Amino acid sequence: MNKQALLRTAFASVLAVTATSAVMPAYAQAAKEKCFGIAKAGQNDCANASGTHSCAGQNKVDMAPDEWKYVAKGTCEKMGGGLTADAAKKMADKKMMEKK
C-alpha cells in the first residue's frame, strides 16, 4: 500500500471514530434522566442545582437534594431520588420525619 492510501485510510478511521463518539453520548443520554438526591459524596455527575460548584465529583455530602446523577429512565424514584431538586428535598424531608 502506498503512503497516500495509508494516510487516507487512517484519516477515514479517525473521522469514523470521532463521528461515532459524538453520537453515542446523545443516544445514551436519551435513555437516562437526572436524578436528584441519590449521589454519594464525590460521585455527582455535574454542576449542582444550587450553583455552588460546576463540575462532577465535587459534592461534599451523601444524598444532598441539589446534587444529581444520570440514571436509567424510570428508576430515579425507585432509588429514593427526585426528578427535580425540589422533589428530592421533599423526599429527604419526608425521610427525616419518618425517622423521628
pLDDT in tens, 29-77: 679 999 999 999 999 999 998 889 999 999 999 999 999 999 999 999 9
**What percent helix, strand, coil does the chain show, rounded to 5?**
45, 10, 45
Statement to judge: residues 36 and 76 lie in one domain: yes
Question: 0.85 cut: is pTM over it?
Answer: no
Statement to judge: residues 49 and 94 lie in one domain: yes
* Nearest to 89, CA basis, from 57, 67, 59, 58: 67
User: Do the Cβ atoms of 50 and 68 come closer than 8 Å?
Assistant: no
Contacts of 72 by beta carbon, 8 Å cutoff, 6+ apart: 31, 32, 33
| H or E, element range at 21 | helix 3-30
**47: domain range?**
32-99
- Secondary structure (3-state) at 67: coil
Statement to judge: residues 6 and 54 lie in one domain: no
Statement to judge: residues 46 and 76 lie in one domain: yes
pLDDT in tens, 12-33: 555 555 544 444 466 666 799 9
